[in-house]
Structure 1
Amino acid sequence: MRKETLFLFAIIVVILDQISKYLILSKIGINNKLVIFNWLHLTVTMNEGIVFGMFKGANLIFIFITLILLGFILLFYEKIPKGNSLIISFGLILGGGLGNLIDRLIHGAVIDFINFQIWPIFNLADAAITIGVILAIIKLWKE
């Protein structure tokens, strides 16, 4: 696996994330919801905090922290051996971080919309970050 795959995964995540948020905002609108199944709703919210809506009102701090974390990924990129599956993990994390950063810069909050009713509302960027972190933990645990 080529190291450039990291950026390919990141770009794909950002594109899918931003397109999904654009469509959700334009078709459903903020603070509205669409019931897909009993267990899945599309509920559009503007999350001014971080995970689970914690620490609302600190948008500039979150932007700064996100930039630092993304910078660490880019610095660490050079140290990832070619063919290492951490490339995919960090690509997902980078793409998810950029997707949510774009929201914070444009909207002042992150657009969340996936609502499984038993879990806090999230978006595709959040899912990519979570999957990337889980894959990285599994990879590092095995080594």
Structure 2
Amino acid sequence: MSRVILRFLSYFAVVFAIDQLIKWVFLHGFRYHGSFVDLILVYNKGVAFSMLSFLGANLKYLQLGLIALLLGYLLGQKELLRSHTAAFGLILGGGCSNILDRFIHPGVVDYIFWHKWFEFAVFNFADIMINLGVAIILIQALILRKKK
């Protein structure tokens, strides 16, 4: 199990560090305006699409509690963590990076704004990693279901 924890922590740390580094670049003035995407600094005070922003500062504590519950559950359900090590590392690395933003900035630091053909919410690397982690779990579940 220690190898699983080490792999999980590796994925977690890499996602967390990359996301915080990218955010640092935007916090220090980087901007780009393109025909498909703009890279701009935005503080998101809610969750996806600014939902739950009405919770204000309480949102960070709610999210922190949910992360702690998920981590506790995963440590108790070792087989689940073993079968989805990378995915949970991506999800929790991105989630913790976004929660850290809530404690040290006015909101989550977002910076990718897709605007070609349609306008999408502004998001960040951590959001991509969270969604990738969820997609990996779903794909693994579908593959396992087909094998049975």
Question: Which TM-score applies when normalising by structure 2?
Answer: 0.82
Return the alpha-carbon distance in structure 2 between the equivalents of residues 66 and 58 of structure 1.
11
Q: Flag structure 1 segments of 5+ consecutive residues without an equivalent.
A: none
Return the alpha-carbon distance in structure 1 between the equivalents of residues 12 and 98 of structure 2.
12
Q: Select which of 31, 34, 38 maps to 2:32.
A: 34
Q: Per-residue displacement from partner, 1:85-117 (whole Å, max 9, x unpaired)?
A: 411110011101110011000013001001121
Return the alpha-carbon distance in structure 1 between the equivalents of residues 48 and 81 of structure 2.
31
Structure-to-structure mapping, 1:79-90, within 5 angstroms: 79-81=77-79, 84-90=82-88
Correspondence for 2:93: 95
Q: Tell me if structure 1 keeps the 8 A contact 2:42–2:111.
A: yes
Q: Per-residue displacement from partner, 1:6-55 (whole Å, max 9, x unpaired)?
A: 11111111100111001111023xxxx422x3112102111111101122
1:107–1:82: structure 2 CA closer, same or farther, 3 Å change rule? closer
The 10-residue stretch of structure 1 (8-17 or 117-126) with the greater mean CA deviation from structure 2: 117-126
TM-aligned CA deviation for residue 82 of structure 1: 8.8
- Letter of the 1:98 partner, please give it: C
Q: Select which of 61, 67, 73 maps to 1:64.
A: 61
- Letter of the 1:122 partner, please give it: F
Partner SS, residue 22 of structure 2: helix
CA RMSD of aligned residues (A): 2.1
The 10-residue stretch of structure 1 (52-61 or 8-17) with the greater mean CA deviation from structure 2: 52-61
Q: Does 1:115 align with 2:113?
A: yes
Q: Flag structure 2 segments of 5+ consecutive residues without an equivalent.
A: none
Return the alpha-carbon distance in structure 1 between the equivalents of residues 103 and 128 of structure 2.
20
Partner SS, residue 75 of structure 1: helix
User: Between Structure 1 and Structure 2, which shows a larger proportion of helix residues?
Assistant: 2
- Letter of the 1:49 partner, please give it: G
Correspondence for 1:73: 70
Structure-to-structure mapping, 1:37-48, within 5 angstroms: 37-48=34-45
Correspondence for 2:27: 25
Q: Tell me if structure 2 keeps the 8 A contact 1:59–1:104.
A: no
Q: Tell me if structure 2 keeps the 8 A contact 1:104–1:110.
A: yes
Correspondence for 1:142: 143
- Letter of the 2:142 partner, please give it: W
